Amino acid sequence: MLLWRGIFNIVVCNYVTYWHNSRAKNVAASEDRNYSSPVATTQRDKQFIRAALKEAEKAEGQTSPNPAVGAVLVIDNRIVAKGHHRGPGHEHAEIECLRNFDAPVPARATLYVTLEPCSTVGRTSPCTDAILKAGVRKVVVGAVDVNPRHSGKGIAQLQNAGVKVRNGILAEECARLNEAFNKWIVTRRPFVIAKCGMSLDGRLTRPSGEPRWITGAPARRHAHHLRARVDAILVGAETVRVDNPRLTVRDMRGPRQPWRVVLTRSGKLPRHARLFSDRMATRTLIYQGKPLATVLKNLGKRDVTSVLIEGGGEVLGQALDARLIDKVQLYLAPVLTGGPVIAFPGRGARNAMNALRLRRISYQQIGQSVCITAYPKVGPSE
């Protein structure tokens, strides 16, 4: 699995790099005569792709299994229309943007879009056709769509029809916005986030008789926001027995309730637990006696593009041992509990060389806790 994910990342990264390099030549060739200089063009492109990203973020976490995409139409350095994709079956960002403009598009207009326009019929018809039909002559793209159905084809189609295309503007930011979609659409496996609140000594619970929370309210609120962005939240049976969690999305914009997934070996689960008896009970799935990898594969088939593992330790340990984690979001509270309930037990790494190393690490203080987000390194050479 690790090897496969390594290959996936290398293929995608190399492909994107190759694409950017080959586009770089076209960028110079396709400069509009009116543009002052390549540096000014890039600055302006970044500025408007940033505006398109802001549009895309409006529906972040609500478009699954589609990506979040934003677009702006610019005439004479002014944004004249905006649009974003709202989810499956809804219009794509470019179409919404052009519809919002609602007038003939002059040849000097430029369409900025965070993701390469699609080129084949899906739930909606191809954006490339609509762009050409609208008379758009210049398109600036953030990231290539890694969806094999479109990847590179949309840009090629536009160029073949004489449209000037610049690509790879803020590509990393644009791709990061859809990190879950980008994995799922290529592998059909969900993007896995391991989340937990722990003591400084890596424990998940406090001594019995004390409040069960390790981290403070601000950190818990912060963590809660993650739920609104994923397609499924996964916990082990012991967490259901001990904590009786709701795993719902509360106090947030957008009504989407992620699947609630329970892993159990014995099948012995409290029937009256909230997950099985509240008004969201139909959003709970139970997997009995299945390895985590099999569960994830099955969830991927159900169009689950992202899974948040919320514990307990046993499931987190399994995910670590099987190298199924794509991102960690850990909250460390300034407390030392000691005791046996550790955050990632499992078999553990055989030696330091085999430990899961992290990269792109960010540290954020939230209340008295520190939130660490990071991504596993995919190969020994990184």
Task: Please select the residue that binds ligand AOF; options are 23, 92, 138, 274, rule is CB under 6 A.
Answer: 92
CB contact at 8 A, 46 and 170: yes
Piece of 71-79, 90-98, 342-350, 373-381 that binds Zn ion (CB under 5 A): 90-98
Binding test (CB under 5 A) with Zn ion, winner from 44, 86, 92, 327: 92
Q: Nearer to ligand AOF by C-beta: 169 or 374?
A: 169
Distance CA 167, CA 155 (A): 8
Could you give the CA distance from residue 270 to residue 210 in angstroms, rounded to a whole number? 23
Query: How far is CA 92 from each of CA 155, 263, 322, rounded to the nearest angstrom?
Result: 16, 36, 37
Q: Is 269 exposed, middle or buried (0-12, 13-18, 19+ CB in 10 A)?
A: middle
Nearer to ligand AOF, 144 or 230 (CB): 144
188: left (phi over 0), alpha (psi -120 to 50) or beta: left
Give CA–CA dist 153/344, Å, rounded. Answer: 43
End-to-end CA distance of the chain: 18
Separation of alpha carbons 179 and 173, rounded Å: 10
3-state secondary structure 26-47: HHHHCCCCCCCCHHHHHHHHHH
Q: Which of 55, 91, 94, 310 is catalytic?
A: 94
For ligand AOF, give the closer residue by CB, 115 or 307.
115
Question: At 264, phi and psi to the nearest 5?
Answer: -140, 145
47-76 binders of ligand AOF (CB under 6 A): 66-67, 69
Residues 183-202 touching ligand AOF, rule: CB under 6 A, are 185
Contact flag: residue 178 with ligand AOF (CB under 6 A):
no
User: 69 is in the binding site of which of Zn ion, ligand AOF, none (Cβ under 5 to 8 A by kind)?
Assistant: ligand AOF
Binding to ligand AOF in span 111-170, by CB under 6 A: 115, 117-118, 122-124, 127, 145, 147, 150
Among residues 215 and 306, whose Cβ is nearest to ligand AOF?
306
**Site size toward ligand AOF, by CB under 6 A:** 19
- Which lies closer to Zn ion via its Cβ, residue 41 or residue 119? 119
Of 213, 263, 163, 219, give the one whose Cα is nearest residue 373.
219
- 94 as an active site residue: the answer is yes
Site for ligand AOF (CB under 6 A): which residue of 5, 50, 82, 85?
A: 85
Q: How far is the CB of 248 from Zn ion (least distance, A)?
A: 32
**Binding site residues, Zn ion, CB under 5 A:** 92, 118, 127
**Binding site residues, ligand AOF, CB under 6 A:** 66-67, 69, 85, 88, 92-94, 115, 117-118, 122-124, 127, 145, 147, 150, 185
**Catalytic residue ranges:** 94
